[in-house]
Structure 1
Amino acid sequence: MRALRSTTVAAVAVAATLTAVSGCAQKSDAKGADGKGVIEVTATDTGCEVSATSFPAGHVQFSVRNKGSKVTEVYVYAPGDRIVTERENIGPGTKAEITAEIKAGTYEVACKPGMKGDGIRQKVTASGKGAPAARDPRLDAAVAAYRKYVQEQADQTLPAARKFADAVKAGDVAAAQRTYALSRVGWERTEPVAESFGDIDPKVDVRADGLEDGQKWTGWHRLEKSLWEEKKISEDDKKLAAQLITDLEDWQKRVGTAEITPTSMANGAKELLDEVATGKVTGEEERYSHTDLLDFQANVEGAQHAYELLKPVAAKNDPALAKELDKQFAAIRAQLDKHRDSESADGFASYDTVGKDARKELSDGVNALAEPLSKLAAAVATGK
């Protein structure tokens, strides 16, 4: 998980007055679904202006602008802080477009200046029947196949995670180090689905600088710190290893209930690239173990799997986009291949040995893929 998360929703065409309590403003006459208009959101360092607090359910387009001085992010939350959609890394003065399938109900739009905290929130309501029932049957097949994929990844993660946890509980630092990165692959491939539940990711994948006030640090990265920085396993670490398995078993049981739509698959693929940009390329994600490249590969694999399932419809609606995505996925995989190490436990070079120029090449590759990938949701939203 990113220590700091970033996503925002964009520019309001008309001025609105910020409410004293929430720091959010609204304009009630904007439209916003299925071609009827766009929900404009302007994020600043102290406010989150939403151009409409009610709109038709269905495929909703959010147009996002960050007018603040800090990098920000935007979330759409369902009750219980279940993440419906998000967009990260919206820099000062930049824009982003988010297309999401929103069912009838009440939600909150949250802007997070500085990518931390609960965000500045605005309650919104989607009403009506939502997206038309008749859509390309290939999209229904894609959702079914992706649901099977995320369950398989959770099922495959548990044995690998238990092997890691057993090594920790046995006090075997070397064995725990060898199995640490491999235990995370399935999680990294499907993390946006896990994050959609709201409460699992902070337990298993948070980093020290992502902790909220009063939150106990648990999960993989706390154990990573013990194994590589402290180079010893405490009795508390053994308890944390057991708790990690309990939390991952919870994820495994619940992942089949996740709400998955064609647009959430497309947005999730983009979120995985954001994960790479904010954590793996920078070296922040695995700051003690330096196993970032295996995480990087898993994120790319997960994003590409979602894209390949959606590709038949995306290629029909936007052939140029599909051609560009094919090209950029191949390019980023080729760049990763340059850093393979057959003698490493996880198959990749330690990221602290990857030089500045090579990191920039990887970063440029991620950006080249992320830009067209951000358009995938819009391409499949029209697949009716």
Structure 2
Amino acid sequence: MRSTRFLVLAAAGLLAPVGLAGCGGGDSDGADAAAGGPIAVKATDSSCEVARTDTTAGTVTFKVTNSGAKVTEFYIYATGDRIMGEVENVVPGVSRELRVELPAGTYQTACKPGMIGNGIRGAFKVSGSAAPLTDNAALAEASASYQRYVQSQTGALLDKTTEFVNAVKAGDVAKAKALYPVARTYWERIEPVAEIFGDLDPKIDGREDVIEEGMEFTGYHRIEKDLWTTGNIAADGPIADRLLADVKEIVAKANAEKLSPLNLANGAKELLDEVASSKITGEEERYSHTDLWDFSANVEGSKAAIAALRPVLQERAPDLVKQLDTEFANVETTLGRHRAGDGWKPQNQLTPAELKELSDVVNALAEPISRVAAVVAK
């Protein structure tokens, strides 16, 4: 769940937003779309100008340029606010591309200046038909392989969340604190899949900022706040029950979801965006400071998506695979310096220099990952 606040450490000069990786800053115009190129999206703090509001089915590329003063996001929604694709952390003056596979149907585009609210929306129509990417046998196997990974993680998510909820309802603060980051590990590994179902994600993973957007503060982070601020969870039974019910629902939906290979490529990048925008900064786990658990899980989830795509990438872009292997290893080595027993040090115990080092290796990994979607869409 995206934060409603700007990247605190980035504003202080400690972090370079991961969204900068592999992007240009120039404008694009409607001529690109007319020629079959990317559909230009000009995002400002008060508008979302999409150069075309219709296209043909298949892989669609949007080039999102932030001409405003606030960090923004861009989404493609299907019916029921199902997220077909998104690009996060588009900082002012920067362009980001989003590739998404869209069958015929009606959709909505949305820019979210400040990364809050329902966004500035517009209608978007896709007509005609196109062979899905999974007609390619290697890409079909990549999607199937990653789906098996999702199933393994959702099973563990349900088990560990059940244990966590039982500890909360029993009033066992120590046990609940110990289980909290473990349960969230499985959520963080598959977060891009969970976020497809936009109505459930904020109920489960919304931080306290959701109150500003008119939503109720529930889920993991509501219980986290009580555990680490007052230690009083006597009234959290109903919140825990609701969390478990919502997790069961999202597990069922995630396991039934048919993922496009572009979901894997985009998801791998989104997980790194999550690291930069909330894990390194301490935004995510602001009460427990267990952010490095989430950091590690996000990187593991990103690596799993790339692993599923590896045979295709190896055939089409072997040099990119070598770079990805190197940068994943660099992230894992750097993060590994902050282990504590079977877990991780609290985020607030790291120095600014250590946080900057983590930011640098994440950005170095984000650059080659930002090129994966284009390789998959060939």
1:131-280 correspondence runs (5 A):
131=131, 135-211=135-211, 213-235=213-235, 237-280=236-279
CA separation of 1:262 and 1:133: change in aligned 2, threshold 3 A: closer
Q: Is 1:376–2:375 an aligned residue pair? A: no
Pairwise CA distance, 1:316 = 2.0
Q: Aligned to 1:100, what secondary structure does the other structure show?
A: strand
Pairwise CA distance, 1:371 = 1.6
Higher helix share goes to which structure? Answer: 2
1:257, 1:297 → 2: CA distance? 26
Q: Is 1:362–2:355 an aligned residue pair? A: no
The equivalent of 2:330 in structure 1 is 331
Q: Give the aligned length.
A: 363
Q: Is 1:78–2:78 an aligned residue pair? A: yes
1:134, 1:83 → 2: CA distance? 19
Pairwise CA distance, 1:29 = 9.4
Pairwise CA distance, 1:212 = 5.1
Q: Which is bigger in relative contact order (C-alpha 8 A, separation at least 6)? A: 2
The answer to whether the 8 A contact 1:31-1:55 is kept is: no
1:269, 1:131 → 2: CA distance? 24
The answer to whether the 8 A contact 1:101-1:131 is kept is: no
The answer to whether the 8 A contact 1:73-1:112 is kept is: yes
The equivalent of 2:310 in structure 1 is 311
The answer to whether the 8 A contact 1:12-1:50 is kept is: no
CA separation of 1:178 and 1:379: change in aligned 2, threshold 3 A: same
Pairwise CA distance, 1:134 = 7.6
The equivalent of 1:39 in structure 2 is 39
**C-alpha offsets along residues 251-286 of structure 1, whole Å, 9 cap, x if unaligned?**
121112223111111001111111101110001101
The equivalent of 1:17 in structure 2 is none
The equivalent of 1:121 in structure 2 is 121
Pairwise CA distance, 1:46 = 0.9
1:29, 1:239 → 2: CA distance? 52
Structure 2: gaps of 5 or more residues: 7-18
Q: Aligned to 1:80, what secondary structure does the other structure show?
A: helix
1:115, 1:331 → 2: CA distance? 30
Q: Aligned to 2:272, what secondary structure does the other structure show?
A: helix
The answer to whether the 8 A contact 2:64-2:96 is kept is: yes
The equivalent of 1:286 in structure 2 is 285
The answer to whether the 8 A contact 2:105-2:126 is kept is: yes
CA separation of 1:114 and 1:127: change in aligned 2, threshold 3 A: same
Q: Percent identity?
A: 49
**C-alpha offsets along residues 145-191 of structure 1, whole Å, 9 cap, x if unaligned?**
11121122111111111111111111111111111100111110001
Pairwise CA distance, 1:2 = 2.3
1:293, 1:11 → 2: CA distance? 35
Structure 1: gaps of 5 or more residues: 15-26
- Residue type of the partner of 2:33? A
Pairwise CA distance, 1:132 = 5.6
The answer to whether the 8 A contact 2:28-2:63 is kept is: no
Computed over aligned residues only, the root mean square deviation of the Cα atoms, in angstroms, reads 2.1
CA separation of 1:119 and 1:173: change in aligned 2, threshold 3 A: same
The equivalent of 1:18 in structure 2 is none
1:120, 1:275 → 2: CA distance? 22
CA separation of 1:31 and 1:319: change in aligned 2, threshold 3 A: farther
- Residue type of the partner of 1:287? R
Pairwise CA distance, 1:126 = 1.2
Q: Aligned to 1:84, what secondary structure does the other structure show?
A: strand
Pairwise CA distance, 1:318 = 2.0
Normalised to the residue count of structure 1, the TM-score between the two structures is: 0.90
CA separation of 1:77 and 1:275: change in aligned 2, threshold 3 A: same
**C-alpha offsets along residues 29-64 of structure 1, whole Å, 9 cap, x if unaligned?**
9347xxx32111010111111111111111111111
Q: Is 1:30–2:33 an aligned residue pair? A: yes
- Residue type of the partner of 1:115? M
Q: Aligned to 1:254, what secondary structure does the other structure show?
A: helix
Normalised to the residue count of structure 2, the TM-score between the two structures is: 0.91
